[in-house]
Structure 1
Amino acid sequence: PACGEAEEFALTAELESVAARTVRRASFSPCGRRLAAAAFDGTVAIYEHNAALRPGGRIDEDEAEEVDEAAGGWRQVAVLEGHESEVKAVAWGAGGELLATCGRDKTVWVWACEEDNEFECAAVLSGHGADVKDICWHPTKEVLLSASYDNTVKVWGDPLGEDEWSCTQTLGVPEAADGSPGASVRAGGGGEEGDGVLPAGHASTVWGLAMHASGDRFVTAGDDRHVALWVQAGGSRGDAHLSGWALAASAEAVHERPIYTVDWRRGGGADGRG
């Protein structure tokens, strides 16, 4: 439909949840066949879609009892446990082989998807000083970003390719003990004298973030009502995606209330518009 026109949606599946509390976030795998649902009880349920399990589809006799007509071909295949409390967000890596979760316990977990829907914890990442609110992956690299209640964004990766994940860069300045927002930096990470001066990040909780499809920029949204644009300032340097990020622009007071989520328009150009 054209912009402004109403679009009709129809319910195609209703999945039974094993979660004892609210399901906070859900994410489809890149192939579209898996769905991960994160809940406030500390669990993440994994569902898999099989067209043969749709009502009227061909199924084996031993699978007949597993078919739920309301589920539209979806069935639960795994439950991930490990977080000590609420899971705030879940996101699949670009290849669909890695899954990341984050939570109120201040940690980010990286899970490896093995054969037969087995998931193994590949890393537990600690470093944030408060709840981790959101996560997103680089579109082509095994690099993960996390946004937190501690006012910062952290970049995580495996620099040596030895399955040793670590924080490679922290963006923003954690709130000081007196509640002040912290330092300021020059636009683009420190240009010539006279360049605009930007805050070093968000002055309060970073609620959401989204990576551009090009992989060379991302945006964050915060409780301070600001939207910030971060760019890969390291150019073609090999590890620029791990530690070459710098604040490029900040739009202040975009909304009258805190901004909880942000995203790029699909098909937005490499110039960052959209």
Structure 2
Amino acid sequence: MAAPQVSIDLAAFHAAFSLGGVLAALAGARTLTWGWSPAATFAMTAALSTAVGAAAAPALLRSGGTPDTAAPPARRRTPRRIRGLAVLAFMIMLCEGVANDWSVLHLRDLGDLGASPGTAALAFGAFSAAMTGGRLLADRLAARHGPVAVLRIGSSLAASGLTVAALSPWAAPALAGWAVLGAGLSGAVPQLFSAAGHHDRESSGANVSRVAGLGYLGMLAGPAVIGPLTRAVPLGLTLLLPAALCVAAAAAAGLVRPRPGAGLRTGRETEART
């Protein structure tokens, strides 16, 4: 009996994460124009998040059946391809971390941009909105053109957008650059996670956790890397470092090419065959 196919719409699933960023940016921009303090904004956000989490809890998956008492598999050495995917995730998510923490400061404080706090907050909103839209489309693009093309073209687009944002002396092109960065990065991480999960079905969970773990380390490291650099060079120039990482990710995009016989299908492909 053939094993059932698993529906995979990983990029669309990640879009919900980006949508939260859009809503947060809009809420922050609005409360700033109302003159709210950060403490009041955070308190409101915490209350809303708690309410949404409580409402969603009944829909979460629940464990059932008897626990698996089989002996755990022997520890294996991490494959070279998984290590490469983890490094790519670190680079890509470092760029996301930079956008999360520095996009607003970039518009507010850099040179002649002089954006108001409310306008500056829209930098992260533009990034998150473009990432949300891109992730809603990324599964279809990967099914039609392949994950390598999504990662290579997306990373190249992200590098171009971040370079425009870094070098622009005006707010409007800088906002557009942050949006292009979000659109370019939108499909990258889902392709990396999918490639890790399909490298070896017996170790798919461990491989995804390795790639995701180093990736989220990159998201935390991004803001910390940029901060010290701003003491030596202007903020705009420091943003060229993550742009260079996007170029490197584009060059290494071949790592996400599906292995022969991996059987990777998106959810829409699976539905079409059933």
TM-score (norm 2): 0.25
Identify, as 1 or 2, the structure richer in helix.
2
Identify, as 1 or 2, the structure richer in strand.
1
Choose between structure 1 and 2 for higher RCO, CA contacts under 8 A separated by at least 6 residues: 2
